[in-house]
C-alpha cells in the first residue's frame, strides 16, 4: 500500500476512531497485565514475608540462646532437621542497597529473587550477623521446615507447658498452630502409618487452596500446622479492581479521543445557530483534514455563498430601484409637460416630442425588465437548454452584421482560425449563444475607439470565441468583478456608457449552461479588453446535470 493511500485511509475520521478505540483497548489490556504483574510482585513479597516470618523469628530466638562458639554445630543440626540450608552471614561482608539495609535495620525479612527462580531470604539476628537461606518452593519448604522446627521446640518443652509455648510461638506465624489429641478423619491409613514413623504428612485442598501439615508429637498427640494459604495470583478483588480501573482508563481514553470531535461539532453547531439567527459573519474554525474539516469547509462556503447571495440581492434591489426611478421620473416629467402644453395650446410637434420621449423611457424600462428576467431565468436550478448542432461562424456573422449596420463608424471583423482542419459546428442553444455574443459586442461598442474583432478558434473538442476592442481596457484587479450583476467599473448611470451592469453576468451564466467558462484579460494586439468564451463542441446527454450556476 502506497504512502499516499495510507494517508488517505488515515484521513477517514471513522477509521481513525476505530483504530484509536482499538489502540486504547489494546493499550488498556497491556496496562492491565502490567498492573496485575506489579501488584502480584508486591503481594507475593508480602505473602512470602508473612509466611516466613514465623520460621525465622523462631530460628532467631533459638540462635540467640546459643552459647558463643556453638553456632556452627547449631547450624549443622538445623540444616539436617529442617531440610533447608541455613547460613550465618556477617552484615559487613554483604552488599545491600539502601532499601535492603533499612529493612534489615528494622529487623524485617529481606527477600531477594534469584536469577534461577529461587528466593533468597535474609533475617538479622543482631546488628552484626544475619541468617540466610535459599528456597525454590517457598510455601512447601517453609511449611515443612516450620513443622520440624516446631516439633523440635515442643519436644524440648514439658508436656504441661506445650500449649502455652505453642500459643507463644503462634504469635509469629501467619497461620494457625494446634495440638491435636486425635487425627482428623481426612487422613487415610497410609498417612497414619507415616505419622507413626515420625514422618510429616501434607494434605492439599483445592477449595479453598491451602495445605495442612501433620506430624506426631507423642502418643495420642499430633501437631497441625495450617491451613497455610497458597498464593493466588488472580484473586477476585484484584481482578475486579483491575477491571474497573481498565474500564475507567478505556472510557477516559475514548473520551479524550472523541473530545476533539465533540468540540469541533459544537463549533459547527454554534456557527449554524448564529447563521440561522442572522449573523452572516459566522464561520467554523478549520483544523485537520478529516470529514469534520471537510464539513466545516463546506459550511463556510455555504455561509459565504449565502452572504454573497444576500449582498447581491441587496445590490440588485438597490440597482433596480435606481434604474427604475430614472425613467419613471422622466415619464412623470413628460406627462406633466404634456399636461402643461395642452393647457397652453402648444403646437402639436411639442406634444409629439414629449410622447416620443415617454416611449423611449418605456422601451428602456422594457429592456431593463428583460435583462432582469433573463438573468433570473439563467439562475434557475438545473435549467434545461435545447441544444442543436449549429454553425458557430454563421451565428457570429449575424451578430456582427447587425452591429455594423448600427455603428458604421467602427470596424468590426470576424476571423476564423484553423477552418480547414475542423468543422465550425457545435451543439448550442442558438438564441442564448447569440445573446451572449451580442452582449459582448455591445459592451465592446460602448468602449471601442475604432476597431472590434471577433476571433473563433476551432479545435477538436472545444471552441473558443474572443471578442476584442481597442478601448481603454479593464484593470486587472477588476477582471473578476466585471461578471458580478449590476457591476459597472466607471460607476456611471448614463445610458451612453454605463449600461445596466447585467450584460456580462448574463454572458457568464449562458456559457456556464454550455459547460464552458467566460474569461477576461487584455488584448495583446488591440490593447483593449478581450473577453473569451470557451465551451465544448458537443453537449452529451450522458453528463450529469448542472446545478445552480455560481453566484
What sign does the dihedral 36-41-47-48 (CA atoms) show? positive
Give the whole-angstrom CA distance, residue 274 versus residue 376: 29
CB 230 within 8 A of CB 211: yes
Whether residue 504 sits in one domain with residue 405:
yes
* pLDDT value, residue 322: 66
Backbone dihedral angles phi then psi of residue 68, each to the nearest 5 degrees: -55, 140
Of 500, 512, 510, 509, the closest CA to residue 371 belongs to 500
Whether residue 527 sits in one domain with residue 484:
yes
* pLDDT value, residue 548: 64
What sign does the dihedral 14-17-20-25 (CA atoms) show? negative
Assign 94 to helix, strand or coil. coil
Extract the C-alpha cell encoding 442.
455591445
Domain end among 233, 255, 288: 233
Instruction: Classify residue 18: in a domain, yes or no.
Output: no
Instruction: Classify residue 189: in a domain, yes or no.
Output: yes
Whether residue 532 sits in one domain with residue 423:
yes
Whether residue 346 sits in one domain with residue 434:
no
CB 135 within 8 A of CB 119: yes
Give the whole-angstrom CA distance, residue 508 versus residue 84: 101
CB 361 within 8 A of CB 334: yes
Give the whole-angstrom CA distance, residue 439 versus residue 433: 10
* pLDDT value, residue 379: 72
Extract the C-alpha cell encoding 218.
507423642
Whether residue 458 sits in one domain with residue 393:
yes
Domain end among 205, 233, 261: 233
Give the whole-angstrom CA distance, residue 56 versus residue 173: 10
**Cβ count within 10 A of residue 87:** 12
Give the whole-angstrom CA distance, residue 234 versus residue 540: 73
Whether residue 436 sits in one domain with residue 355:
no
Instruction: Classify residue 3: in a domain, yes or no.
Output: no
Whether residue 523 sits in one domain with residue 445:
yes
Domain that holds residue 361: 319-377
* pLDDT value, residue 495: 43
Give the whole-angstrom CA distance, residue 545 versus residue 381: 10
Instruction: Classify residue 422: in a domain, yes or no.
Output: yes
CB 465 within 8 A of CB 427: no
Of 399, 465, 486, 470, the closest CA to residue 438 belongs to 399
Looking up residue 498, the CATH number of its domain turns out to be: 3.30.565.10
CB 369 within 8 A of CB 328: no
> Please, what are the averages of pLDDT over each run of 10 residues along the chain (551 residues)?
48 64 75 77 76 78 77 79 80 78 79 78 78 79 78 79 81 81 76 77 76 78 78 70 76 74 78 80 75 78 81 70 71 73 65 74 75 74 79 89 89 85 83 90 90 89 91 87 72 47 84 89 91 88 68 56
Give the whole-angstrom CA distance, residue 432 versus residue 436: 6
* pLDDT value, residue 241: 76
Tally of CA atoms within 13 A in the half-sphere of 322 that contains its CB: 14
Largest CA distance in the chain: 162
Say if residue 376 is exposed, middle or buried (CB neighbours under 10 Å; 0-12, 13-18, 19+): exposed
385-413 b/e (C-beta count within 10 Å ≥ 16 → b): bebeebebbebbeebbeebeeeeeebebe
Q: What angle do CA 233, 44, 228 make, to 5 degrees?
A: 80
**Cβ count within 10 A of residue 347:** 9
CB 452 within 8 A of CB 444: yes
* pLDDT value, residue 465: 92
Give the whole-angstrom CA distance, residue 87 versus residue 67: 17
Structural domain count, the chain: 3
- Note if the pTM is more than 0.75: no
Say if residue 352 is exposed, middle or buried (CB neighbours under 10 Å; 0-12, 13-18, 19+): exposed
Backbone dihedral angles phi then psi of residue 391, each to the nearest 5 degrees: -85, 110
Whether residue 439 sits in one domain with residue 402:
yes
Instruction: Classify residue 300: in a domain, yes or no.
Output: no
Instruction: Classify residue 387: in a domain, yes or no.
Output: yes
Whether residue 422 sits in one domain with residue 486:
yes
* pLDDT value, residue 452: 92
Domain end among 173, 201, 233: 233
Extract the C-alpha cell encoding 161.
507447658
Whether residue 336 sits in one domain with residue 409:
no
Amino acid at each position: 500500500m502506497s504512502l499516499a493511500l495510507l494517508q488517505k485511509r488515515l484521513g477517514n475520521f471513522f477509521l481513525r476512531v476505530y483504530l484509536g478505540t482499538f489502540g486504547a483497548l489494546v493499550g488498556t489490556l497491556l496496562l492491565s497485565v502490567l498492573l496485575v504483574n506489579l501488584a502480584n510482585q508486591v503481594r507475593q513479597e508480602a505473602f512470602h514475608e508473612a509466611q516466613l516470618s514465623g520460621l525465622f523469628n523462631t530460628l532467631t530466638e533459638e540462635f540467640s540462646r546459643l552459647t558463643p562458639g556453638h553456632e556452627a554445630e547449631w547450624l549443622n543440626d538445623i540444616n539436617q532437621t529442617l531440610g533447608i540450608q541455613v547460613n550465618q552471614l556477617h552484615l559487613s561482608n554483604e552488599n545491600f542497597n539502601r532499601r535492603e539495609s533499612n529493612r534489615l535495620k528494622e529487623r524485617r525479612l529481606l527477600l531477594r529473587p534469584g536469577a534461577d527462580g529461587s528466593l533468597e531470604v535474609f533475617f538479622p539476628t543482631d546488628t552484626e550477623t544475619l541468617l540466610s537461606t535459599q528456597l525454590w518452593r517457598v510455601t512447601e519448604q517453609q511449611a515443612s521446615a516450620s513443622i520440624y522446627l516446631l516439633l523440635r521446640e515442643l519436644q524440648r518443652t514439658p508436656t504441661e507447658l506445650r500449649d502455652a509455648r505453642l500459643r507463644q510461638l503462634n504469635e509469629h506465624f501467619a497461620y494457625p498452630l494446634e495440638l491435636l489429641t486425635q487425627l482428623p478423619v481426612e487422613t487415610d491409613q497410609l498417612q497414619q502409618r507415616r505419622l507413626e514413623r515420625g514422618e510429616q504428612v501434607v494434605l492439599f485442598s483445592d477449595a479453598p487452596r491451602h495445605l495442612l501439615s501433620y506430624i506426631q508429637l507423642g502418643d495420642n498427640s499430633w501437631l497441625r500446622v495450617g491451613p497455610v494459604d497458597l498464593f493466588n495470583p488472580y484473586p477476585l478483588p484484584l481482578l475486579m479492581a483491575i477491571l474497573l480501573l481498565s474500564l475507567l482508563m478505556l472510557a477516559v481514553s475514548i473520551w479524550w479521543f472523541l473530545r476533539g470531535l465533540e468540540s469541533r461539532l459544537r463549533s459547527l453547531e454554534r456557527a449554524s445557530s448564529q447563521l440561522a439567527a442572522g449573523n452572516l459573519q459566522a464561520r467554523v474554525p478549520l483544523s485537520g483534514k478529516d470529514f469534520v474539516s471537510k464539513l466545516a469547509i463546506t459550511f463556510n462556503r455555504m455561509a459565504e455563498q449565502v452572504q454573497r447571495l444576500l449582498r447581491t440581492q441587496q445590490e440588485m434591489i438597490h440597482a433596480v430601484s435606481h434604474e427604475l426611478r430614472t425613467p419613471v421620473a422622466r415619464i412623470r416629467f413628460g406627462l406633466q409637460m404634456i399636461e402643461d402644453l395642452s393647457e397652453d395650446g402648444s403646437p402639436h410637434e411639442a406634444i409629439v416630442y414629449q410622447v416620443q420621449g415617454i416611449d423611449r423611457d418605456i422601451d428602456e424600462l422594457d429592456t431593463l425588465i428583460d435583462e432582469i428576467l433573463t438573468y433570473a431565468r439563467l439562475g434557475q436550478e438545473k435549467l434545461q437548454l435545447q441544444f442543436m448542432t449549429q454553425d458557430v461562424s454563421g451565428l457570429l456573422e449575424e451578430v456582427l452584421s447587425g452591429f455594423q449596420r448600427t455603428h458604421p463608424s467602427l470596424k468590426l471583423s470576424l476571423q476564423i482560425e484553423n477552418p480547414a482542419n475542423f468543422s465550425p459546428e457545435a451543439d448550442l442553444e442558438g438564441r442564448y449563444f447569440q445573446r451572449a455574443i451580442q452582449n459582448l459586442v455591445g459592451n465592446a461598442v460602448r468602449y471601442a475607439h475604432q476597431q472590434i474583432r471577433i476571433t473563433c478558434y476551432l479545435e477538436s473538442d472545444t471552441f473558443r470565441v474572443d471578442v476584442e476592442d481597442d478601448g481603454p481596457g479593464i484593470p486587472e484587479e477588476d477582471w473578476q468583478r466585471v461578471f458580478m450583476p449590476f457591476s459597472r467599473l466607471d460607476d456611471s448611470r448614463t445610458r451612453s456608457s454605463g449600461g445596466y451592469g447585467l450584460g456580462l453576468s448574463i454572458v457568464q451564466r449562458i456559457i456556464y449552461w454550455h459547460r464552458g467558462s467566460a474569461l477576461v484579460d487584455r488584448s495583446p494586439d488591440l490593447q483593449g479588453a478581450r473577453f473569451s468564451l470557451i465551451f465544448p463542441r458537443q453537449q452529451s446527454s450522458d453528463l450529469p446535470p448542472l446545478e445552480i450556476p455560481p453566484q
